[in-house]
Amino acid sequence: MTDLERIESVIKWSRLKANSFAKEIGYKQGKSIYDSLKSGRININLATKICSRFTEISYAWLLTGEGNMLKEQPDNAVANEQLETYEPKNENDMMLSEEIKFLKKQLEEKDKQISKLLNLLSLSTSEFEEDKKEEVA
């Protein structure tokens, strides 16, 4: 699958028109996405914008075409329900249950930090590309 086909697959998956999709990831119009593909490759800035907004999309797949478009995610709803309804049988189980809850909170915080960092990377990459264009002009 080509880079263009992968972008079109993501747009189709999102159930948005190209212009609406472009606006969702921070571009003014759909043409901007296709302009980013002039080199024939998806650039890191575009991939970061897409994966920051649509977190279900695999960054590796978007850049390389390898693997699945959607990230494989465990059924968190079932795991969360089991954890909430679980009654520890002894002190060791109780400690493990509390540790799992603590680690889940830490993971959620790390996910938020990663999302913020991806957004910052996307912004700085955009600024770098615009500065580069101005230097050429």
Indicate the domain borders of the chain: 1-73, 74-137
Angle at 96 between CA 91 and CA 99, to 5 degrees: 125
Phi/psi at 70 (nearest 5 deg)?
-95, 140
Residue 39 is given by DSSP the state: T
User: What single letter denotes the amino acid at residue 136?
Assistant: V
Ordered per-residue pLDDT tens for the chain, 137 residues: 888 899 999 999 999 988 899 889 988 877 778 777 777 788 888 899 999 999 899 988 998 998 899 987 655 555 666 666 777 778 887 888 788 888 888 888 888 888 778 877 777 776 666 666 677 66
1-73: CATH number: 1.10.260
Task: Tell me the DSSP string of 11-25.
Answer: HHHHT--HHHHHHHT
The pTM assigned to this predicted structure is: 0.54
